[in-house]
Structure 1
Amino acid sequence: MPPIILSMEVDGDDYFESEYRVKIGTQVKYLTIAPNTFDRETLSCPIQALSSLPWEDEWTVAHISRPEPRGELKTSLSNKALAGVKHHWHHAMIDCLELEKSKQLTAMALEAKYAHFPDNVIAKIARFEWEIPRIERETLAYQLLQDSDLTPRFLGHIHENGRIMGFILEKVEGCAASIENMEACETALKRLHQIGFLHGDTNRHNFLIIENGAKLLDFESFRENASQEAMQQEMDSLRVELMDDSGRGGGFIFQDG
């Protein structure tokens, strides 16, 4: 079975390493390609240029480089254990390869189908190790807020080769907030602050407007035991955030064709 790229972070300027998350059969492996190894076109889909890589062998990370211009490729394979989310609190564990993507929402979030749930779900994953702390923070936030009704329901942890690297949420129908929804957003944020929590990123796309109010999303910058000053600053900035039409926080924009 040929390798399939699941995620990538490509440095088009060739200053930093490009990273890839690759599915090989029932396993997921990771590639890092050093700067000045391939041209930009090859970096956008490097699988064919790596035909000699022993894909089926036991390794988790392959580092590819070209020490000399136009020289031979150098491959370094490692079987290191990758970092995962340590905060495991929900009983459900979902294999990332059992999710069937319906729509990519942001670099880390997607709408997906999962055989054991009747409706589509929202999945969020750490594509690479440096994103694990974000998922760790959100996982804690959803546990602390599970009885508050301020967020969509947390449905389980996502694992990859056994390590936790994401979670799934119920898909709640609604829309991003605007200044017309100021009262609903203010109410939701005030309830969060009353518990002593700071959201950390109140852009208008992190409020989901539903029929009877607003739910909060995206807790990558969540903080516990926030100061009154910090919470007041967050509340004071809400109007400006809801009036922002830059698209910040809105994820990918899809166009017909």
Structure 2
Amino acid sequence: MALQTNRKIQHLATLNNQFRLLIDDNHVVYVTVEPGILPRGDWSFIDFLSFPPGDWNRGHISKNRRTGSLGFSSISYDSVPGVENIWHHTYIDHLEFERIGSLGRNVCIVTHPFFHYPVIIKFASFPCEIDYIETETTMYHRLHGTGISPGFLGHVTENNRGVIGFVLQIITDSRPAEPRDLTICQDVLARLHTQGIMHGNIHKDSFLVQEGKAFLIDFGISYLCDEGKEHEIECEHLEQLLAGA
């Protein structure tokens, strides 16, 4: 396999023995390292391993049993799943954002020329995470214009993969829910249920409270449900959650 030694390699994310890497500032690849040949969390191979040229997006690194050296045992160009429910008119490539802060894994505060203010992007670093982004994208579509959730501002894309995330409005000067916010949190949760949606993962950080109003976020495991009993159980869980806050 021909190798090219002068390529610029940037580490983007790690999940167990999988690595998401950016090559030459414009080409994302997904590399799997043979289990057990590197210490957990070690991506030092990026600095000394030669990366193959050509049009590929998946690679596998293994150890030569005779020499003990690491190398690419295979590369391929495969279809990598992205979000299918594409409904917003705005698409922005992930490389166009300037990151200015982090709110957790795969959630960043960023800027972009499209917007006159910072925004939030949430995305799937790896294909195995895309189902959560698919679910959230669908729920934000259903909630668009209701005021129940922050504004959905567009899709985040990655070349060769399609849509991998979304852009959200920042609810400025907001905070997580507290016991004193029970009434407004009950109100926004009831409105969510009216839309036929169960949140599925209610906790204090699921609510953003701003000037006497609550918004809901984090719909990665939400689902459609018109069953009143399930709605009641989620409402009871909210009461218990804030009572013990």
TM-score, L = length of structure 1 = 0.86
AA matched with 1:62: G
Aligned partners of 1:70 and 1:104: how far apart in 2? 41
The alignment covers a number of residue pairs equal to 235
AA matched with 2:9: P
Aligned-residue identity in percent: 31
Displacement of 1:191 after TM fit? Answer: 0.9
| 1:227/1:72 CA distance change after superposition, 3 Å | same
Q: Using the TM superposition, name which of 113-122 and 236-245 deviates more.
A: 236-245
Match among 77, 86, 89 for residue 88 of structure 1: 86
1:8 aligns to 2:14 (yes or no): yes
Match among 40, 45, 61 for residue 58 of structure 2: 61
Unaligned runs of 5+ in 1: 12-17, 246-257
Aligned partners of 2:69 and 2:244: how far apart in 1? 50
Secondary structure, in 3 states, of the residue corresponding to 2:224?
Answer: coil
Unaligned runs of 5+ in 2: 1-6
Offset from partner CA, 1:190-236 (integer Å, 9 cap, x none): 11112221011111101000113100001001111342221111111
The residue aligned with 1:254 is: none
Aligned partners of 2:138 and 2:40: how far apart in 1? 38
1:150 aligns to 2:148 (yes or no): yes
| 1:171/1:45 CA distance change after superposition, 3 Å | farther
Aligned partners of 1:148 and 1:209: how far apart in 2? 16
Aligned partners of 2:66 and 2:98: how far apart in 1? 41
Aligned partners of 1:114 and 1:244: how far apart in 2? 40
Secondary structure, in 3 states, of the residue corresponding to 2:31?
Answer: strand
Offset from partner CA, 1:113-172 (integer Å, 9 cap, x none): 111110000000000001100000000100100021101110000100051000001111
The residue aligned with 1:190 is: 190
| 1:210/1:196 CA distance change after superposition, 3 Å | same
Displacement of 1:84 after TM fit? Answer: 0.6
Aligned partners of 1:7 and 1:44: how far apart in 2? 10
1:215 aligns to 2:215 (yes or no): yes
How is 1:108-257 mapped onto 2 (pairs within 5 angstroms)? 108-162=106-160, 163-173=162-172, 174-242=174-242
| 1:35/1:228 CA distance change after superposition, 3 Å | same
The runs of 4+ residues in structure 1 deviating greater than 6 Å are: none
Offset from partner CA, 1:47-102 (integer Å, 9 cap, x none): 1142x222x42110111122649734352111102101011100000010001111
Aligned partners of 1:137 and 1:67: how far apart in 2? 41
The residue aligned with 1:20 is: 19
AA matched with 1:190: A
| Contact kept in structure 2, 1:8 and 1:21, CA below 8 Å | yes
Secondary structure, in 3 states, of the residue corresponding to 2:215?
Answer: strand
Provide the aligned C-alpha RMSD in A. Answer: 1.8
Aligned partners of 2:62 and 2:242: how far apart in 1? 46
Displacement of 1:44 after TM fit? Answer: 4.1
| 1:244/1:22 CA distance change after superposition, 3 Å | farther
| Contact kept in structure 2, 1:204 and 1:244, CA below 8 Å | no
Aligned partners of 2:188 and 2:212: how far apart in 1? 11
| 1:59/1:230 CA distance change after superposition, 3 Å | same
